[in-house]
Structure 1
Amino acid sequence: MGDRPRRIAHLDMDAFYASVELLRYPELRGQPVVIGGGRNAVPETLPDGTRRFARLRDYVGRGVVTTSTYEARALGVFSAMGMMKAAQLAPDAFLLPTDFDAYRHYSRLFKDAVHTFTDRIEDRGIDEIYVDLTDLEGESRALGSRIKAAVRQATGLTCSIAIAPNKLLAKIGSELDKPDGLTILAMADLESRIWPLAAKKVNGIGPRASERLDSIGIYTVGDLAAADLGLLQEHFGRKYAAWLARIARGLDERVVVVSSEPKSMSRETTFERDMHVHKDRAVLTPALTALCERLAGDLARKGYSGRTVGVKIKFADFKVVTRDLSLPEALADAASIRRAAGACLKRVLLDRRIRLIGVRVSALERAIESKSLAVPTQGLLPFDC
């Protein structure tokens, strides 16, 4: 890359699952729509050709919101929220089922469009990627506009892109002008565009860490940049405090990782509040199931299966516990991943509130090389006891 300054883009599809559904149901554009219903949420075609859609107020069950349109988000409905809570906030919102086959199809389309510009792409999931633009010719804004146009032409969908000196700023920047945004950031923009943001806007500062920062008078990224390192170490420990100090100054040396053979794939979610193992099982259990389903979708999209399943639990006190289970043969389907994750959870002492759960599949191999595995049913998960 020579002496050229780094140009890293973060591309994030706008409300991806919901936007794919709006291609199919354009009459719902501009309406609050929630994705995550089951078979009962499949629209009904009436004799006159119009469609009747389910409403969120009619939902009954323990499911969680997969995603929502911006109109629903304005009402307080976000991904990973319990569906029943969402129904209280937006009872008149339209409800649609998830269609992961369609989402994977459009994911391939938008990534293929970006590949026409460069192969320096890091896949971060079904709806987002990092792109190293350092070696490409052209001014950043013009280049970003060309990529956005290519994605729009290939999919009919909009995306938001930020181009910055590193992955940290690119990730933050892609949220600044959503939807359909194009944001160009330089280190000189740190004080005016990044420091005024709430600290929780930084990827890696979750709700609990944000609460702790609030408790010591640190509300914005700028406050964090001005904070005493000793104070941060006292409340967060040396390693996390050092990371907080670096990100507040916009420093990030991570490279765009281009790898055709990943070692593992994972999904995790941080809850809006700390969850009680028993009292909040109606949220925890569906959230774990949804993670397994999304992870299975990632594996299927990339053509992998894995021999080891692991879980990650972060408790309210920030202690992280992981457990792994190695299997005789590789697996890739959601049901098998969930059963194996349940077996891992049985080896965790769940004696404190939970702020994050994650599921990982490792020891990957190409799915064509593996056989299906019937994992014995493990019974109820610990959250259900």
Structure 2
Amino acid sequence: MAPWVLHVDLDQFIAAVEVLRHPELRGRPVVVGGDGDPAKRGVVSTASYEARVHGVHSGLPLRTAARRCPDAVFLPVDREHYEAVSDQVMAALRSFGAVVEVLGWDEAFLAADGDPEAMAQQIRVRVRAATGLECTVGIGENKLQAKLATGFGKPAGIFRLTGETWFEVLGDRPTDALWGIGAKTAKRLRGLGIGTVGELAAADPGVLAGEIGPTIGPWLVRLAQGLDASPVSDAPHIPRSCGRETTYQHDLDDWQDVRREVARLARQVAQDVADDGRSVGRVIVKVRYAPFITQTHGRTLDAPATEADRIEEAALAALDGFTRRRPVRLLGVRAEFAR
């Protein structure tokens, strides 16, 4: 394994790409989401820094974003263009001859030898030359450290985080500052008297194994200690699931309509599964009630399947798990592939 891992993260990627296409928007609050109409239902895909200071962030309803930042410019999502720009970025990263692990449109890990700061500077230069975009580079001894380092380097900077500086930088921070710990896990840890990264790192793995789980508990302790043995890999990403979802401009009040829509989405997913040539082991249904409460229920199939009828049947069975018959603004169906 190379001695250094670099994490490259494009700054406000989608918004920055749009500003390159529309230079007149530079310095203005820009929000990208849905079809670009904040009067319609949809969520924010990304927001420029100028919009973020008003409390606009990804996942926020577009209508709420418009209320928080009425001067913002709203633009529609253009996936094909973002993918094309992302391809240019990844080509620039691969030009270093290092192993590149792509995480998404706007971020990747690189395995690095030599002077990591010098390489990070060159990465920023080449990405800017290829695309006009700025990026932040985090440097670490493993992927976990590099990923977290990026947050301290933003925007458009370079930051190194190692085992030697880990607790100095992170020790007093809350546990959800760690990559992999969300609000629910952090709350559960607080209930056990563990509030900071340092406290979690000092916790007894055996105790956490009993409280949280034999695998997750000890893993959380290793996470808090800055340990990560996963290699940087350029192996193609194999999706674990595929799904479809729809946001409705008017609430679905009749649950017979909800059932018909879930059946329709399930059959679309079944077609996607057939095109992918893999079988399904579990189906999950997502319901977002008005105004914005989201719940999910799943159903495991008796045996892996590809047939549309069986995927639809599992989706409708999962839907039966929703006991609240409130108006619905969004429905989703996701199929998890059998291992």
TM-score, structure 2 as length reference: 0.74
Deviation per residue, 1:262-304 (Å, 9 max, x gap):
4325589xxxxxxxxx9xxxxxx9xxx9xx99xx9xxxxxxx9
- Partner in structure 2 of residue 185 of structure 1: 161
Q: CA deviation at 1:79?
A: 1.2
Deviation per residue, 1:150-200 (Å, 9 max, x gap):
111101001111121111111111111211121122210111112233321
Using a 3 Å threshold, how does the CA distance of structure 1 residues 232 and 206 change in structure 2: closer, same or farther?
same
Q: CA deviation at 1:359?
A: 4.5
Q: CA deviation at 1:88?
A: 3.4
Q: Say whether residues 1:89 and 2:68 are aligned partners.
A: yes
- Partner in structure 1 of residue 115 of structure 2: 139
Q: CA deviation at 1:102?
A: 1.1
- Partner in structure 2 of residue 77 of structure 1: 56
Q: CA deviation at 1:254?
A: 0.4
- Partner in structure 2 of residue 16 of structure 1: 13
Q: Give distance in 2, aligned partners of 1:342 and 1:19.
A: 40
Picking from 128, 132, 137, the partner of 1:156 is: 132
Deviation per residue, 1:185-222 (Å, 9 max, x gap):
22101111122333212222112112223334433212
- Partner in structure 2 of residue 64 of structure 1: 43
Q: Give distance in 1, aligned partners of 2:135 and 2:209.
A: 38
Deviation per residue, 1:76-124 (Å, 9 max, x gap):
2221222233333333322111111110111000100011102411111
Q: Say whether residues 1:118 and 2:58 are aligned partners.
A: no
Picking from 304, 312, 316, the partner of 1:346 is: 316
- Partner in structure 2 of residue 46 of structure 1: none
Q: Does the 8 Å contact 1:266/1:358 carry over to 2?
A: no
- Partner in structure 2 of residue 25 of structure 1: 22
Give the SS at the match of 1:78. Answer: coil
- Partner in structure 2 of residue 248 of structure 1: 224
Using a 3 Å threshold, how does the CA distance of structure 1 residues 326 and 89 change in structure 2: closer, same or farther?
farther
Q: Quote the RMSD (CA, aligned, Å).
A: 3.6
Q: Does the 8 Å contact 2:297/2:321 carry over to 1?
A: no
Give the SS at the match of 2:32. Answer: strand
Give the SS at the match of 2:154. Answer: coil
- Partner in structure 2 of residue 259 of structure 1: 235
Consecutive unaligned residues of structure 1, counting only runs of 5 or more, are 42-53, 269-277, 279-284, 297-303, 330-338, 364-385
- Partner in structure 1 of residue 247 of structure 2: none
Q: Give distance in 2, aligned partners of 1:196 and 1:342.
A: 48
Using a 3 Å threshold, how does the CA distance of structure 1 residues 26 and 226 change in structure 2: closer, same or farther?
same
Alignment of 1:301-320 (within 5 A): 305-308=276-279, 311=283
- Partner in structure 2 of residue 203 of structure 1: 179
Q: Give distance in 1, aligned partners of 2:312 and 2:160.
A: 44
Alignment of 1:283-298 (within 5 A): none
Q: Give distance in 1, aligned partners of 2:241 and 2:136.
A: 24
Q: Say whether residues 1:165 and 2:144 are aligned partners.
A: no
- Partner in structure 2 of residue 301 of structure 1: none
Q: CA deviation at 1:63?
A: 0.8
Q: Give distance in 1, aligned partners of 2:223 and 2:277.
A: 34
Give the SS at the match of 1:124. Answer: strand
Q: Does the 8 Å contact 2:5/2:139 carry over to 1?
A: yes
What is the count of residue pairs matched by the alignment? 294
- Partner in structure 2 of residue 377 of structure 1: none
TM-score, structure 1 as length reference: 0.66
Give the SS at the match of 1:76. Answer: coil
Q: Give distance in 2, aligned partners of 1:179 and 1:31.
A: 17
Q: Does the 8 Å contact 2:279/2:337 carry over to 1?
A: yes
- Partner in structure 2 of residue 47 of structure 1: none
Alignment of 1:259-278 (within 5 A): 259-260=235-236, 262-264=237-239
Q: CA deviation at 1:342?
A: 7.2
Deviation per residue, 1:240-272 (Å, 9 max, x gap):
111110001111100112214x4325589xxxx
Q: Does the 8 Å contact 1:306/1:362 carry over to 2?
A: no
User: Share of identical aligned residues, percent?
Assistant: 35
